[in-house]
Amino acid sequence: MPLDRNDPEVKALLEEVAAEATEALSAKNKELLAELRAAKAKAKGSEIDPEEHARLQTQVEELTGKLDKVTKDSARQIEKLTKDLAEKDDALTQHLIDSGLSTALAKAGVAPHFMDAAKAMLRGQAAIKDGAAVIGDKPLADHVTEWAGTDQGKHFVTAPANSGGGGQGGNSGGKCTGNMGGSREDRVAALKVKFPELAG
List pLDDT tens digits, range 67-92: 999 999 999 999 999 999 999 988 88
What confidence tens digit (pLDDT) does each residue in 171-181 have?
Answer: 444 555 666 66
Provide φ and ψ at 160, rounded to 5°. -65, 145
- Tell me, what's the pLDDT at 1? 54
Handedness of CA 161, 165, 169, 172 (dihedral sign): positive
- Tell me, what's the pLDDT at 163? 54
Between 7 and 123, the higher pLDDT residue: 123
Q: How far apart are CA 164 and CA 59, in angstroms?
A: 94
Residue 154 has pLDDT above 60, yes or no: yes
Residue 115 has pLDDT above 80, yes or no: yes
The helix/strand/coil state of 200 is: coil
Segments of 63-141 assigned E as strands: 126-129, 132-135, 138-139
Residue 38 has pLDDT above 90, yes or no: no
Q: Which residues contact 195 (CB under 8 A, 6 or more apart)?
A: 171
